[in-house]
Amino acid sequence: GVMSQSEQQLQNLWKLREYISETISHWTPYKNDISVTVSKVPAFLADIDAIVTSNYPDFEVLWYGHIGDGNLHLNILKPEALSKEEFFDKCAAVNKWVFETVEKYNGSISAEHGVGMTKRDYLAYSRSEPEIAYMKAIKAAFDPNGIMNPGKIFL
């Protein structure tokens, strides 16, 4: 971690943080927003890095986020030799392994950006059946006609 020593350094640090997505967009990142308890972060990072490295040695992994509170942004960068479609297909397999690891560490498949359509099929990796049933009941109570975000997480 770094603490700014001047107003200029503070502004420069924020620029680094704010421009991360734009900077890595050149490599077509495959993004995941996940979280684990802070004390588990080092072991979790090592496990995910080992999974990606052993299965896809040509994939580069870039971590950033709010590591101090366990919210992590996993970005797998597309190698030049792969098409975007081929890369995303390979990352679908990585997703399963990542979420299995999240489950192993009792983490969450979504740290701060929500579940959405991309992760709805993986919700069981970090939420139990009763928890999902409660979520569905709350959705039904507030949206009995199913008109708010139909099909996004719960029908």
Which band of pLDDT confidence, cut at 50, 70 and 90, is reported for residue 155? Answer: low
Range of the domain at 141: 115-155
Q: Is position 21 within any domain?
A: no
Q: What is the DSSP string of 11-29?
A: HHHHHHHHTHHHHHGGG-E
Burial class (CB in 10 A: 0-12, 13-18, 19+), 62: middle
Cα–Cα distance between 155 and 152 in angstroms, integer? 7
Q: What is the pLDDT of residues 25-36, one digit of tens each?
A: 989 999 999 999
Report the run of H or E that residue 34 belongs to, with start and end: strand 29-35
Q: What is the DSSP string of 91-131?
A: HHHHHHHHHHHHHHTT-BS-SSS--HHHHGGGGGGTS-HHH
Q: What is the pLDDT of residues 35-83, one digit of tens each?
A: 999 999 999 999 999 999 999 999 999 998 887 889 999 999 999 999 9
pLDDT of residue 60: 93
- Pairwise pLDDT comparison (1 vs 48), residue with the higher score: 48
Q: What is the pLDDT of residues 100-133, one digit of tens each?
A: 999 999 999 998 877 877 788 899 999 999 999 9
Cα–Cα distance between 36 and 152 in angstroms, integer? 24
Residue 153 has pLDDT above 90, yes or no: no
pLDDT of residue 65: 85
> Do both 31 and 68 map to the same domain?
yes
> Do both 52 and 95 map to the same domain?
yes
Residue 99 has pLDDT above 80, yes or no: yes
> Do both 57 and 120 map to the same domain?
no
Q: Are strands 60-66 and 29-35 parallel, antiparallel or unpaired?
A: unpaired
pTM of the model: 0.83
pLDDT of residue 149: 85
> Do both 105 and 144 map to the same domain?
no
pLDDT of residue 2: 81
> Do both 87 and 149 map to the same domain?
no
Residue with tokens 């960068």: 77
> Do both 78 and 34 map to the same domain?
yes
